Amino acid sequence: MTDVEIPDRLVDDIVAGDCVAFVGAGFTAPVLPEWRLLLVELAEETDEHTAEGVRRFVESGTNRDLGAAAQTLRDRLGDERFFSAMQERLADRRSTT
């Protein structure tokens, strides 16, 4: 096995809790909501134009479009509101399972 050098900034972000891992195909966890549904629910907190754009991205279903939907929501809601709303929905789902 080769040694991998991890940049100091990445280590700092991980330690600070500012790093999110995106897990690829084959990963399922019943405590997490379906990503498409979560994006559509978050879109309900925006204006109709933004919500419609997010729904179109989600309907397309490609990874690129789902990423674009998430970025659209983050841009529209702002980081604090975006992550807070996501956290609330995840907490709601955990408490009902």
Domain contains 67: yes
Q: State the average pLDDT for the chain.
A: 80
Domain contains 2: no
Domain contains 4: no
Domain around 48: 28-96
More confident residue, 5 or 83: 83
Tally of domains within the chain: 1
Asked whether the predicted pLDDT for residue 92 surpasses 50, the reply is yes
Domain contains 32: yes
CB 33 within 8 A of CB 89: yes
The total number of residues written for the chain in this structure: 97
pLDDT by residue (tens digit) across 64-87? 888 899 999 999 999 999 989 888
pLDDT by residue (tens digit) across 29-44? 444 457 889 999 999 9
Domain contains 86: yes
Its pTM surpasses 0.85: no
More confident residue, 32 or 17: 17
